[in-house]
Amino acid sequence: MTNDLQRLIEAAKLVRPSAEHREEQRRSFAFGNTAFENSRITREMVNVQAEKLAERSRGNK
């Protein structure tokens, strides 16, 4: 492994994603896995459901 690559790996270990980035990744993961099984699933459907879950967790049932 080159020194440049090793430095990049070590720097990446220190990166902490923001809450927004984690949520974006979570939704992307959900879309990728569900769309793989059912091509009728859209990103919009995933976003709508994610918003509903977020509302419930904030206590706005």
Is the predicted pLDDT of residue 60 greater than 80, yes or no? no
What six digits make up the tokens of 38? 């059912």
Q: What is the pLDDT of residue 61?
A: 55
Q: What pLDDT does residue 12 have? A: 95
Q: pLDDT tens digits, residue range 4-50?
A: 999 999 999 999 999 999 999 999 999 999 998 999 999 999 999 99
Report pLDDT for 59.
85
List strand residue ranges (DSSP E) for 1-61, in order: none
Question: What pLDDT shows up at residue 41?
Answer: 95
- Output the pTM of the full model: 0.71
Answer left, alpha or beta for residue 59, where phi above 0 means left and psi between -120 and 50 means alpha. left
